[in-house]
Amino acid sequence: MVMSSAGYPGPYEKGQVIHGLDQVVNPTIIFHTGTAAKDGKIITNGSRVVGITAIGETLKEARELAYHSVEKVSFNSAHYRTDIGTKAFH
């Protein structure tokens, strides 16, 4: 799933410190799509900030792990969809 900056898809904020990247649950992969390094910190630098993907034994487990990791990552006015993957379970 993708965590985006406030205002996306329109004008969005940059320069927000991203917290919790080191607290995600394994096996999770974080794709930095709109980040930058500044003063030893990772900050937002784009509209789509990070993509979070998890690996599980089942699709349901992978989805749960990904959302658990999303809850660990934060930055000011972060947004993400909560319906990703739900159609696969109907």
Work out the mean pLDDT of the chain and round it to a whole number.
Answer: 92
Q: What is the reported pLDDT for 17?
A: 97
Taking the domains of the chain in order of start, what are their residue ranges?
Answer: 2-77
Q: How far apart are CA 52 and CA 31, in angstroms?
A: 6
pLDDT tens readout for residues 51-67: 999 999 998 999 999 99
Q: Which CATH architecture has domain 2-77?
A: Alpha-Beta Complex (3.90)
Q: What is the reported pLDDT for 75?
A: 96
Per-residue tokens: 3: 């965590």
Its pTM stands at 0.88
pLDDT tens readout for residues 24-56: 988 999 999 999 999 999 999 999 999 999 999
3-state secondary structure of 3: strand
Half-sphere exposure of 79 (CA within 13 A, CB side): 11
Q: Which of 35, 75, 27 lies closest to 51, judged by CA?
A: 35
The phi-psi region of residue 8 (left if phi > 0; otherwise alpha if psi is between -120 and 50; otherwise beta) is beta
Q: How far apart are CA 24 and CA 42, in angstroms?
A: 15
